[in-house]
A = this chain, B = another copy of it.
Amino acid sequence: MASSAQRAGGADKRRMILDAAVVAFATRGFHACRVSDIADQANVAYGLVYHYFRSKDEVLDTLFLERWNVLLEVIAEIDGHPLPAREKLHAIASFIIDSYRHDPDLMKVIIVEVTRAANSFGRTHLAKIREAYELIADIVGKAQADGSFRSEVTPTFAALAFYGAIEQVLTGWIFDTLPQGEAEFDQAKAFIVETICGGLDANRPSTRPV
């Protein structure tokens, strides 16, 4: 599990500050984290943060956008492959969960401080966050169109449920209310997909014609 700080290859101070911010934000939370905490973590003077970023907010914005854009690209790329929808969803869940596995601090910051903090940063990035929902909804919609998914539920709701399940699981790991580890990570991917795609009912009511 590579720590955020280790990602800084050389003397790129901007990168060092970003990586330090991940640790600082994850440790103290964005609000409680002072700019000087970031600078201390990065071993630079705190004025330097303002050399590279307009504000403390911009540091978090940058962190979020860097990662979220990767997520969007990955989802799009997954969707480009000729896979069954269920496998596409599994691939998406895998990517997100593996992101947490590889850099839990960064995912903690993104989820806790942005994605789930709709009143502060989430507000700013609402549109960006929705893009992910919509890409997922697209996958569902196309699967419904080709008959591999049932049409009982709108793609939008299906996407919300899918993403909501992932976020709840990540939150459980982040705040240690759910056991985590290699086995749990892979199990979670399977369970989330199984719940959303397979459903809980033992005897499913016959599918209504749409």
C-alpha gap A166/B160 in the complex (Å): 9
Given contacts A153-B200, A163-B168, contact A158 B195 (CB under 8 A): yes
Closest residue of chain B to A148 (Cβ to Cβ) is B202
Closest residue of chain B to A196 (Cβ to Cβ) is B200
Interface residues on A, range: 35 or more
Establish whether residues B201 and A149, one from each chain, have CB atoms under 8 Å apart when the complex forms.
Answer: yes
Among A126, A158, A166, A195, which residue has the most Cβ atoms of chain B within 10 A? A195
CB within 8 Å of B: which of A164-210? 164-169, 171-172, 174-175, 177-178, 188, 191-192, 194-205, 207
Q: Any chain B CB within 8 A of the CB of A6?
A: no
C-alpha gap A85/B169 in the complex (Å): 22
Q: Any chain B CB within 8 A of the CB of A54?
A: no
Binds B, one of A37-45, A71-79, A113-121: A113-121
Establish whether residues B153 and A191, one from each chain, have CB atoms under 8 Å apart when the complex forms.
Answer: yes
Q: Any chain B CB within 8 A of the CB of A56?
A: no
Establish whether residues B196 and A199, one from each chain, have CB atoms under 8 Å apart when the complex forms.
Answer: yes
Establish whether residues A147 and B199, one from each chain, have CB atoms under 8 Å apart when the complex forms.
Answer: no
Establish whether residues A153 and B195, one from each chain, have CB atoms under 8 Å apart when the complex forms.
Answer: yes
Given contacts A160-B172, A165-B161, A167-B168, contact A29 B119 (CB under 8 A): yes
Establish whether residues B198 and A196, one from each chain, have CB atoms under 8 Å apart when the complex forms.
Answer: no
Chain B residues with Cβ below 8 Å from A160 are: 165, 168-169, 172, 178
Establish whether residues A201 and B199, one from each chain, have CB atoms under 8 Å apart when the complex forms.
Answer: yes
C-alpha gap A114/B167 in the complex (Å): 16
